[in-house]
Every structure is written in C-alpha cells, then in structure tokens.
Structure 1
Amino acid sequence: MMTGKKLIISAVVLALVQIGFLSWIIAGRAAILRDGRQVLLRVEPVDPRDLLRGDFIRLGYEISQIPVKLIANVPAGKLSSDDTSIVVRLKQGADGYWEATTAWFGKAPAPAASDEVDIVGQVAEGWDLSPEATAIAPDYGIQRFYLPEGEGMAIQNDMRVRPFGVRVAIAANGTAQIKALMDGDKTLFEEPLY
C-alpha cells in the first residue's frame, strides 16, 4: 500500500510528465511557425462552424487534389492507394501562390531545390491509381482555421466572391502549419506562436 508521501510524489511526477508532453506538442508547432519555410496557398471555402471550438473555415487547396499523373512513383499495375504518406513538391507560380509540380509516395528521391519546398500529406487507402484515374486527395493537416466568434460566416461568404490565401509554414520534414489567413495581400488573422 502506498504511503501518503509516495502518493504525492507519484502525483507530482505524473503531472510533470503530462505538462512536459503538452509543452513538447506546443513547442513543436511553434518551431514550425517560427522557422518553417513560408508558402502561400490559394484556398476554397467549405464549412464555418464547430460546436465545441467555435467559428472556423474549412479550407480546400489546389493541392488538395493531386493529379495521379503527377505522382512519379506509382508502381506498375498498382490500382489503388495504400494508407501512406505522400510528398508533394511545390514551386511558386507567377501569381505568388505555390503549386504542385510533382509528388511521390513515401519519400522524395532528392531534396527540393532552393526555389521549391516539399509538403507531406497522408493518403487514405483505396484511392484509384489506375491509368484512367484523375486525382487523389491528400490530407496535410491544415484544413481548418479557427476564427474569433462571429467571424466565420462573413469570411466564408467573402471567400466565395474574391481570392483568399493561407500563408503556411512548412518544416524541413514537410510538416505544415497554418501561419495566417490572407484576404488578397492583407493579413486578416495570424496564428500566435504559443
């Protein structure tokens, strides 16, 4: 049976472990926002409300649909995707928005050039990879952007009539975090580091 002193020590150790884990998650996200390579992606609105967390905009990107013909390493005869990661190489277009130039399942065969960046997403099992297939939809973990209460619907409506973008920070390993919501050249909301 545990004594009172051992019980207190165990509770303190457990609390420190939990605080350490949460701090590690927050610091990792902040490191990407602070040090990651920034790209601007064109967005498409989807849905504005979460009952537990408040207003948000659900974002779709041009890179949310990757043409199968851009995937350089689809094995011959492979007709559907596995649950796997995908590396999508981005390059900045003349309009300032970054676009997909090529993609690979698993890992890229070579590092991105200085004017390119690789973003890593997850592809669900079952996407059609046959020669007739059009596109797959990777999940990059940057599909939601939370806003102050009451702002979601207005921004959602504005997104339908004029171009919006999202400034995204991408870490060296391809992990992405939304840094800011842009209305044209104007920053509407910027994510704090912590």
Structure 2
Amino acid sequence: MMTGKRLVISALVLAFAQLGFLSWIIASRAAILRNGKEVLLKIEPVDPRDLLRGDYIVLGYDISRIPVKMIANIAPDKQSSDDTSIVVRLKKGADGYWTPTAAWFGTAPTPAAADEADISGHVAAGWDLRGEGMTIAPDYGIERFYLPEGEGMAVQSDMRVRPFGIKLALAADGTAQIKALMDSDKTLFEEPLY
C-alpha cells in the first residue's frame, strides 16, 4: 500500500514540474512580446508550406547576411567561425526599418544607445572569415512565421510586389520574438501573447 502512495506522489510531483516548466517557457515568450523593444525588419519570402504545421513564410532579413568586415572583434589570425553567439546592433532608418550597424561574436562591448537595439543570434562553425566581401548567416530563431491555413501563397505573392516587414520584440539580452507581420504600415497578423 505504501508503494502505491509513493508512486502517485511521484507522478504528481513530475506532472507539476512539467507544468511549471511549460508555464515558464510560455511566460518568458509573453514577457518579451509585452515588454520588449519593438523593431521593424524588412523581409524577403522563400516558401510558404509545412505539411505538419500549415502555411508559413520563411523569412530572410538584412540581418540574415552579416558582412564579416562588420564584426568588430575577429582576431587577425582567425580563419573561420566557431559555433558561437553573435550580437548585431540595429539602428532605425529613415524608412522606419531597422538595419545592422555593427556586430560582435559573444557579447557587445557596450550597451546599445536609446536609439539602437541589440539582437542575439547564433553562428554555426565553419564560416569563412578571411575573404573580402564574405558574409555569415546567423540564426535568430525568427526565420519562420506561421499563418492561418490558405493565407501563405497569397501573402508570399504580395511580398514580391510591395514591402512587408516583421515587427519584433527584443528582450534586454537580445532575444527576439516575432510580434506581427506588417504590410507596409498595416498589421496583417499579430502573434497572441499566450
């Protein structure tokens, strides 16, 4: 009889731990969306369909291709990138879209100014850091946006003829969450907090 009680108690403790972990993940995302600094990035469409999750847009940004010469802290003898983090400093342009102005492997040496924002990403090992005109492609975790079923092809077609953007929310540490898909200054689809 005592073994049965321990089993039930163990199962309940495990269930509450899992529930707490999932709640923490959802609350973290919602906190960034609610309180993060908003930036708007221009996007480029790629492909709008996932058999398991429905319509989506694969997003490319100006920050998806960082010129190696923009990365301020590359050692002179460094030939290729390590599997590491990257911070890209953004500044708002006259057109309302934010563009990269500087980048660092690891962390930024100084905090972003009031009119700037930092976005954190990840760089895989093996990117060539030597050649003139070379770029690297960081992953920020914001490369897909899921749409209601049947909307992907229409949005992708529209993206080819007029400017679209993604409104991001950035946490203080540079973690990004997609907040909304924008058609010029009109919000098409907004991500719910929960």
Question: Same fold judged by TM-score > 0.5?
Answer: yes
- What secondary structure is seen at the aligned counterpart in 2 of 1:3? helix
Give the equivalent residue in structure 2 for 1:107.
107
For the pair 1:54 / 2:35, whether they are aligned, the reply is no
**Aligned mates of 1:12, 1:92 — CA distance in 2:** 50
For the pair 1:127 / 2:117, whether they are aligned, the reply is no
Displacement of 1:185 in angstroms is: 0.6
**Aligned mates of 1:132, 1:126 — CA distance in 2:** 16
Displacement of 1:149 in angstroms is: 0.6
Displacement of 1:133 in angstroms is: 4.5
Give the equivalent residue in structure 2 for 1:70.
70
**Matched letter for residue 193 of structure 1:** L
Give the equivalent residue in structure 1 for 2:20.
20
What TM-score comes out, normalization by structure 1 length? 0.98
Deviation readout 1:91-135 (Å, 9 max, x if unpaired): 000100000000000011110111000000100100010042421
Give the equivalent residue in structure 2 for 1:136.
136
Displacement of 1:18 in angstroms is: 0.6
For the pair 1:173 / 2:167, whether they are aligned, the reply is no
Q: CA RMSD in A?
A: 1.1
Give the equivalent residue in structure 2 for 1:159.
159
**Matched letter for residue 112 of structure 1:** A
Unaligned runs of 5+ residues in structure 2 are: none
**Aligned mates of 1:97, 1:2 — CA distance in 2:** 64
**Matched letter for residue 169 of structure 2:** A
What TM-score comes out, normalization by structure 2 length? 0.98
Displacement of 1:2 in angstroms is: 6.5
Displacement of 1:50 in angstroms is: 1.1
**Matched letter for residue 76 of structure 1:** P
- Number of paired residues? 194
**Aligned mates of 1:135, 1:35 — CA distance in 2:** 32
Unaligned runs of 5+ residues in structure 1 are: none
**Aligned mates of 2:176, 2:67 — CA distance in 1:** 21
- What secondary structure is seen at the aligned counterpart in 2 of 1:29? helix
Give the equivalent residue in structure 2 for 1:39.
39
Deviation readout 1:49-71 (Å, 9 max, x if unpaired): 11111111110001100011110
Percent of residue pairs identical: 76
**Aligned mates of 2:19, 2:110 — CA distance in 1:** 38
